[in-house]
Homo-oligomer: A and B are copies of this chain.
Amino acid sequence: MDTPNKKTYHHGDLRKTLIHVGIELISESGASSLDLRKVARIAGVSHAAPYRHFADKKALIAAISEEGFNLLAIEMEQAISMKDGSAHEQLRGMGHAYVQFAITNPSLVREMFSGLTIEREAYPSLYDVSKKLFNMIETVVIIGQEKGNIKQIDSNELTCAIWSMMHGTAILIIENQLKPVTMQINGIEHITEVCMDSLILGLGAS
Contact = CB atoms under 8 A, between A and B. Distances in A.
A163 B168 contact: yes
Contacts of A164: 165, 168-169, 172, 178, 195
A172 B201 contact: no
A130 interface: yes
A121 to B, nearest CB: 11
Contact of A202 (B117, B157, B175, B201): B201
A132 B38 CA distance: 40
A117 B199 contact: no
A167 interface: yes
Interface string A170-206: 0110111110110000000011001101111111000
Specify how many copies of this chain sit in the oligomer: 2
Contact residues on A (Cβ < 8 Å of other chain), bracket:
35 or more
A105 B203 CA distance: 30
A156 to B, nearest CB: 5
A57 B158 CA distance: 41
Contact of A171 (B31, B171, B174, B198): B171
17 contacts: A106-B115, A110-B115, A114-B114, A134-B180, A154-B181, A157-B190, A160-B191, A160-B194, A161-B191, A161-B194, A161-B198, A164-B168, A165-B168, A167-B172, A168-B169, A171-B171, A197-B202
Given A167-B167, A202-B202, 18 more contacts: A114-B114, A134-B177, A157-B190, A157-B194, A158-B194, A160-B180, A160-B191, A160-B194, A161-B191, A163-B168, A163-B177, A164-B168, A165-B165, A166-B168, A167-B168, A171-B171, A197-B202, A199-B199
